Amino acid sequence: MRFTPLIAGMIASLALSTAAQARDQISIVGSSTVYPFSTIAAEKFGQSSGFKTPVIESTGTGGGMKLFCKGIGVEYPDVTNASRAIKSKEAKMCADAGVAFQEFIVGNDGIAFANSLKGQHFKISIAHVAAALAAELPFQANGASDATPNQLKTWADVDAYTAKRIGGDLAGLPNIPVSIMVPPPTSGTRDAMGELFMKHGWKKLGLEGSGYKKLREDGAAIEVGENDSLIIEKLVADQNMFGVFGYSFFDQNRDKVQAALLDGVELNFENVASYKYPAARPLFFYVKKAHVGVIPGLKEFINEFVSEKAMGLDGYLFPAGLVPLSEDDFAKQVAARDAL
Architecture of the domain spanning 110-280: 3-Layer(aba) Sandwich (3.40)
Please give the pLDDT value at position 16. Answer: 56
pLDDT in tens, 42-96: 999 999 999 999 999 999 999 999 999 999 999 999 999 999 999 999 999 999 9
The answer to whether residues 69 and 97 touch, using CB atoms and an 8 Å cutoff, is: yes
pLDDT of residue 3: 47
| Position 21 confidence tier, pLDDT thresholds 50, 70, 90 | low
Mean pLDDT of 136-150: 73
pLDDT the model gives residue 143:
47
Report the interhelical angle of 298-305 vs 35-48 (nearest 10°). Answer: 120
Backbone CA torsion sign across 112, 113, 118, 124: negative
d(CA 36, CA 81): 11
Span 22-30, average pLDDT: 92
- Which residue ranges make up each domain of the chain? 5-109+282-339, 110-280
The residues near 324 (Cβ < 8 Å, ≥ 6 apart) are 107, 108, 273, 311, 312, 313, 315, 318, 330
Residue-averaged pLDDT of the chain: 92
pLDDT at 86: 97
Neighbours of 96 (CB within 10 A): 12
pLDDT at 140 over 90: no
Summarised one tens digit per residue, pLDDT across range 220-275 is 999 998 778 889 999 999 999 999 999 999 999 999 999 999 999 999 999 999 99
Q: How far is CA 95 from the centre of its chain?
A: 23
pLDDT at 173 (0 to 100)? 98
Q: Report the topology of domain 5-109+282-339.
A: D-Maltodextrin-Binding Protein; domain 2 (3.40.190)
pLDDT higher than threshold 50 for residue 1: no
Same fold, 5-109+282-339 and 110-280: yes
